[in-house]
Amino acid sequence: MNKKLLFVYSKKEQIELPQKLLSEYQIKSVLATSFREIYKTIVEYKPQLLLFDENVKIKYVRYLSERFKFIPICIIGYFEKPQILEKFLQLNLTILNVNQSETEISSTIENLLWFSLSKEELWDEEYKLCRADLLKSKFLFFIKIFGLSVLAIISFFFLPKLYNILAITKPIYNEIDLKYISPSDIVVLKDKIVVTDWTIRNIFEYNLDDEQLVKMYIADEQFNAVSMNNNNYFVSSSMFSNSIRISQYPEFSVTISTLTLFREKTVMALHLTDDNNLYVLDNKNTLFHYEIKDNKNIVFISSYIITEFFPIDVYVYNNDIFLLDSENNVHKIKNFAKQQYAHVLLDKFFDPKQIKFVSFAINKNWLYFVSEEAKKIVKLPSKILYVD
């Protein structure tokens, strides 16, 4: 018997499911009218996966995800409104874009089912465990409320004394949480921040001023390094090849030009300046400098081998070249020929054993560091680099 999927749709618009899903899985549909009706259907039908359309109320999804933690949940839709997408991403749920191919959608669902605990033979036992955990959580919640009430009463009498004792200091850095993606690269432009997630080929665009998500794109290949400039040139390198592709953002499928590195070399990082100078850092500690001409040809300018540290990312700001190393430190190249650097040693503040940075970017006000494992961006004042 095919695995069972429960499709929960809204009154606003029922999204048409891909034909491949309808043929490969046993799918039951239910209208999102109330918590009780959906809950009852789930218990009776015992699905292996829950599929919500993007118009289902977020409170319904949150309520059911808390009560059926053992069942994988996917959200399917067109996601033309970034605000809706961001709400679902914050719940750490799998997103299926209708514009993806049917094979990709089916493959994503199959991977979720493979590792899930919602298999038919486990369903009843996992449901019992989930209900027990929910009751335990409610009990602990009331205990915490009681403890906080007692603490509030005590603080009311002793807070003035505590205020005089404690020194309140403001940290020199800020953090942007990206709990719903695995950020792998970052580019800062005049009006936006672009963050990529190579695991799902997604490219997230944020407003520079308020740092709110405004757009999301899906590239047509998996990449490990990307960059773009204010001319909307987009360069990317796939982890499965030693080539670099240049396209027009966000028309990723239209290739403008390509560049192939020597055999056995792969790309670690890329940076593209507004005057179309391309810097390529390979896995052999070599930094290449190319220029994209008006006729779209890529011309080699120079190369430079780094021996003092292990670089993992490159960024150019105000014509100065900066490198991020594997120990969270930043190095400014002062003289290529003499191997001279200006070092900004940040490992004392950001222990690489505690947080690991994989990419960075610079603008007039901020130095941005990306941690894929911690799912966050750490911002420091760019003055720390002594740049104008």
Do 95 and 191 fall within a single domain? Answer: no
| Residue 376 placed within a domain | yes
Cβ neighbour number for residue 98 with a 10 Å cutoff: 16
Task: Give the global pTM.
Answer: 0.60
Asked whether residue 158 is domain-assigned, the answer is no
Q: What is the dihedral of CA 119, 121, 122, 123, to 10 degrees?
A: 70
CATH number at residue 32: 3.40.50.2300
pLDDT in tens, the chain (388 residues): 578 999 999 876 668 888 888 899 999 999 998 888 999 999 999 999 999 999 999 999 999 998 898 999 999 988 888 778 888 888 888 889 888 888 889 888 988 898 888 898 889 988 888 887 656 555 444 556 655 665 556 545 444 443 343 333 334 568 888 877 888 899 999 999 999 988 878 899 999 988 888 888 888 777 888 999 999 899 998 766 678 889 888 888 788 888 887 666 788 899 999 999 999 998 888 999 999 998 888 899 998 899 889 999 999 998 899 999 999 999 999 887 777 888 888 877 788 888 999 999 999 989 999 999 999 999 988 888 864 4
4-9 sheet: strands from edge to edge: 26-31, 4-9, 49-53, 73-77, 94-97
Structural domain ending residue among the three candidates 52, 86, 120 = 120
What tokens were used for 261? 């590195």
Which domain CATH number covers 324? 2.120.10.30
**Other Cβ atoms closer than 10 A to 237:** 25
Query: Going by DSSP bridges, is the β-strand pair 243-248/251-260 parallel, antiparallel, or unpaired?
Result: antiparallel
Q: Looking at the structure, do residues 76 and 185 belong to the same domain, yes or no?
A: no
Domains: count for the chain: 2
207 and 345 share one domain: yes
29-67 in b/e form (b: 16+ CB < 10 A) is: eeebeeeeebeebbeeeebbbbbbbbebeeebbeebbeb
What is residue 88's three-state secondary structure?
helix
Q: In the listed set 94, 120, 146, which residue is the last one of a domain according to the structure?
A: 120
Cis amide leading into 171 (omega within 30): no
